[in-house]
Each structure stands twice: as C-alpha cells, then as structure tokens.
Chains A and B, each alone.
Chain A
Amino acid sequence: MNTTRISVGPLLYYWSRQSTLDFYAGVADSAVDDVYLGETVCSRRHELRLDDWLEVAAMLRDAGKTAIMSSQALIESESDLKALRRMVAQADFRVEANDMSAVRLLAEAGRKDWIAGPTLNIFNPDTMQLMMEAGATRWVVAPEMSGEAMAALLSEMQTRPETEVLAWGRLPLAHSARCFTARHFNLQKDTCEFRCLGMSDGIVLRTREGEPFLTLNGVQTQSARVHNLLADLPEVARQADVLRISPQGSHTLDVIALFREALDGQTSALAAFERSAEWMVDRACNGFWHGKPGLELQLPAGAKS
C-alpha cells in the first residue's frame, strides 16, 4: 500500500448550499485522507458560514478524514480579519494559512500545526525555515513552482515539511480586488447579485480565435486547462507526501478513486491519465511541474494526449 495521501483542496467555486453539502457527503465516503474547507476566494460568498463549515469538518472527522480550515487568500477589510481571527481561534481543526495575516495570527496563538498554503510564496529554504519556526508543519507548493525547484528546496531542509502538490484541477493563477464575473454581467462587486452562485466550474474565457485560455471565478482567475499530474504520478509521489485534487463541478469523486488506484499500483500512471480524459472540463496541462509554461502538456513517449 502506497502511503501518499490524497487531499481535496478548498472548493474554489460558489455552489449552492445543498450542492456543497452533497459534495462533502460524497467526499466522506471517498478514498480521500485530508479535506480543506472554507471560503478562500470571496468574502461575499455566504451559502456556508464558518459555523456551517465547522459542522462539515466535524462530519468528515467522524468519517475518518482529517479536516482542515483554509483561510481567505486576499484580505481587504476589517471584517475579513475578524473572520480570520475566528478561524484561528477554533482549536478543533488545523488551519491552512493563505496570507501572511493568517501566519501572524497563528504564530501569535502559538499554533504549531498549521499548513502553509499555496499563496504564501515560499520559494526557498530560508523562507520555508521561517514558516516552520512560526509553526508550519506542512507546505502546499505554489503551483508555478517546478518539481525540480521543489526538490531542490526540500533537499536543503534539515527538517523536511510535509509537502503537498496540486495534482488535479484548474490552476488558481491570480486574485484581484476586482470581480471579473460581476464585470462580465456589467455589475459592480458590491452589488454583484451573486452571479457566480451555481456556476459549477466558473466561466471560460477564450481568445478571439475561440481557444479556451482562462477561467473567470469571481475575483480569482484560473487556467482553462486542467492541471493533471496523473501521467507524472510515479515521480510526483516520490517527491510529495500529499496530492491535492481541486473540486470541480462533476466527477471529483471519480478522480479521487482513480488517483488512489494509480497510487496503489492497480493501474499504471499512463492508463490512469488516459482514463481521466472524460472527467476533465478542458484539455490537460502539466507544464508547471516540468518547469515550462503552465499551459503546456509534457507526456512520456507513447502516451495519448
């Protein structure tokens, strides 16, 4: 049995309360080990509030999963900070810090078990060491960092953090103060009418040649292509302790099962990659892992893309 853990990253889209609860009920029955919960993208999204998320976390814990609360990536207002303080104050679940404000609050609270999220920009051993001294035990690698750069960082650490890599999902590429979904509907963010609610996978942005390029998800911009490391699995699993699957509108549970099968050697990495094609919302990419432009796809010889 392979010991690599599988995690479900925070839900980046805004689904209805019922769809969200149904999704996590399914996750409770899946082969996942760790589940990241909470709203990380936009403070206006309120289908579930912190207390609701904590209930989901408790349900998952009862199902044998490790639940982790993820903090909002872009902190703008005092009420954002208030929400963050409440998340840090609860002691039942670990916290993923996605901004230095969370790092400060977690360190101040003496927490020694937090997860350094992908937006903290940890790119070198010295910064990693500082985060660990502040209480981080796990590192979620920034998606733009290559496998090679990640390995180089880890090789210089005296104590290695648990390391988590995004292995499936549209790439979270940028955050803004501006909401691009509201902008698309000629609305302002403050009066956005919650138009992103129910968009299962965001809105695709295409070039003027019709090529899918990016995905608009409120204040977040994602890739259109699906970052998919299934074909790279043997190497990725050698380097990383945890593989993150980012929730998508459908088939997330199928993807989780496929990763588990591939990790446990019941199916080859390449076969798994080929099987995953029907569950992708767009074409695959894995360029970042290989130190290339993120939208590129690099496959071993003989693979079908």
Chain B
Amino acid sequence: MQSIELVCPAGSLPALKTAVDNGADCVYVGFKDATNARNFTGLNFDPKAMREGVNYAHARKRKVLLALNTYPQAHNWADWTAAIDRAADFGIDAVILADPGLMAYAAKTHPQLRLHLSVQGSATSYEAINFYHERFGIQRAVLPRVLSLPQVEQVIANTPVEIEVFGFGGLCVMVEGRCALSAYATGESPNCNGACSPGKHVRWEQTPKGMETRLNGILIDRFDDSERAGYPTLCKGRFEVNDETYYAIEEPTSLNTLELLPDLARVGVRAIKIEGRQRSPAYVAQVTRVWRAAIDKVLAGADRFTIQPAWMEELAKVSEGRSHTLGAYYRPWK
C-alpha cells in the first residue's frame, strides 16, 4: 500500500512542535497576515517562529507546508510574491496556493519549490486539477469537501497529481473558494481577506429571549439556557425558512472520516488533512495522536482495521458542537 501522509495544522510554534511530537508527517502553517485563509488575531508565524518551526520539523525529518491560499489583488500583489520568496528562503517543503497567477510566479521564480493546490482553488474534477498540473506543475491537490468517495476515486484514477482530502475538523459546507457569504455579511471573505465570519464582527448578547449571537448585527442564532451557545459562523446558525426555524444550511458539527480511512487508502488518497490552525496545541495533540494511530493501523493492513472506541471518544471531545458527520463522502448528507 502507498503511504498516506498525515497533514496537521499549526497556528503557533507550540502547536507545530506538538504536531511533530505526536506524529504528524507534515505541518501546515501560515504567515501572520492576509496571505492565508486563517488570518486571525494572535495566530500564525512571524519570521523568527517560522525559522524555528522549520528547523524543529526538519531535524525530525518532518515537513512544513505553507498556506498562501488567498487571492492577491493588484494593490497587494507584492505582499504575496514576497511571501513566496520568504517561503523558499525558509526552506519550506511546499507552498499551498490557490491563485493561478501566484503559481506561475512561484514556478518561474523558484522552480525547485513544490506546489500544492489549495482547497481554496475549488478544483473538484481531474480536468481542473490537470489544468494546474500542466500549467504550473502542481504536485498535490487538496479536494474541496464536496465529493463522494467514488467521485474521489474517479479523480485519482485520472490525474498524476497526488490527492489530499480533509479527514477531520471544522466543516465548510460550501465549495471552498466559492463562498462569499462572509463577504456579503461582513465585507471580509476567505478569498480576499483570509477570514470567514471574523471575530471583530461578532457580538454575544444576553437578552430576555436568550443568548443572541450576531455577525455585523445580523442575528445568526439564539440559545436558551439549556443550550451551549456556539460561535456565529454564519452558515451554522438557525434561520427561518417558510416559518420553520432550523439549521437551514448546516449544524455546528465537525467532519470526521476516521471510519472511511481504509477506503481512502484503497482508492489512493495520498494525504489526510486535519483542519484547525485556529485551534489550541491541546487540540492538535489529541487529534494528531488519534489519526497517527489509525493511519499506522491501516498501513499495516487495511482489512484488519477496526475503529477503536477510544479514538472516537478522543475526537468527540474536540468536535465542534460535539457531533460529527461524514459530510459529502456520505451521499445522503447532500
């Protein structure tokens, strides 16, 4: 069986070290600015932390991937190309890009730098992935969370590009890179600002009707005393449609594909990505440990793979809304 890399998130140097110590093959990180899709206050790496992180990982024969997966515009183009130059200088193992213009820049300026196509590139078919491969030589693509397992298999069968899929973590219901909901509500989007439902627009308010969560003034949800109030990610609120109030788009839930791991391995998925650069080192440790153990078991023989209840318990503790879903891998979810 081909190996499967475990790709873990790190929003800070301690998280990076934790991921490495707990068995991540690769850690993905971002700079402290809008060049990546987790541009949150207090998160990410300055040059000093980046250098130390890369050294730490490389000393232990692990890789560091850099997410530069937002879309630069004419006025800030130079910030993104400078970030690519810095990545090459730091000895980053691959940059994760979404913008074709940046890919062309990277391929021309740093031909030795490995390129991954970010999930923000919205490539859901082999025709799209092969476009980036032919033009810019991308070596891996991260699939948006929209395909079923047979569809993933079909992609893999028709491309020379390695395929990485999301295994665990917060779930984007929309095709990544094609969602302007946050831009519509707050003016800040994953595509251009690296942020969805950003914290500075969030208001929590205890009212006689319950705890209300708002995003730029828009009521996203209201919780009574028996409910745990969640962060107002705007696609995960309760809304009214034809007089019915429910999670009209998606519940606050996490993606967890642990039970599909043998199938993902069988169809030839080359890397499993864990979401959560905004999460704590404790989260990174817990999730990395479980997935390391599970991947090792699968690589030792997929037919003998069984899910250990302890794994699911560990993951449930850190799931959003304490529940999980197979997402689009499971057709009825659609």
Contacts and interface: CB of A to CB of B under 8 A. Distances in A.
A177 B235 CA distance: 14
Contacts of A144: 180, 183-184, 189, 191-192
B74 A149 contact: yes
Range of interface residues on B (Cβ < 8 Å): 35 or more
Interface in B201-256: 216, 218-222, 235, 238-242, 244-245, 248-250
B98 interface: yes
Contacts of B147: 76, 177
Contacts of B241: 184, 203-206, 216
Range of interface residues on A (Cβ < 8 Å): 35 or more
A81 B180 contact: no
A188 B334 CA distance: 6
The dominant DSSP class at the B interface is mixed
A210 B243 CA distance: 9
Contacts of A288: 183-184
B83 to A, nearest CB: 14
B72 interface: yes
Interface stretch (B27-35, B118-126, B300-308, B313-321): B118-126
Nearest to A156: B74
A126 interface: yes
Given A173-B184, A174-B179, A208-B245, A124 B74 contact: yes
A135 interface: no
A84 B100 CA distance: 22
B212 to A, nearest CB: 9
Interface string B296-334: 000000000000000000000000000000001001111
Which of B128, B135, B147, B183 counts the most A-chain CB atoms under 10 A from its CB?
B183
B180 A143 contact: yes
A252 B185 CA distance: 26
B101 interface: yes
13 contacts: A99-B122, A104-B128, A121-B177, A123-B73, A124-B71, A128-B101, A144-B189, A144-B192, A149-B75, A152-B74, A183-B248, A189-B334, A207-B220
Interface of B: 71-75, 77, 98-102, 104-105, 121-125, 127-128, 130-132, 134-135, 145-148, 151, 154, 173-175, 177-181, 183-187, 189, 191-192, 216, 218-222, 235, 238-242, 244-245, 248-250, 328, 331-334
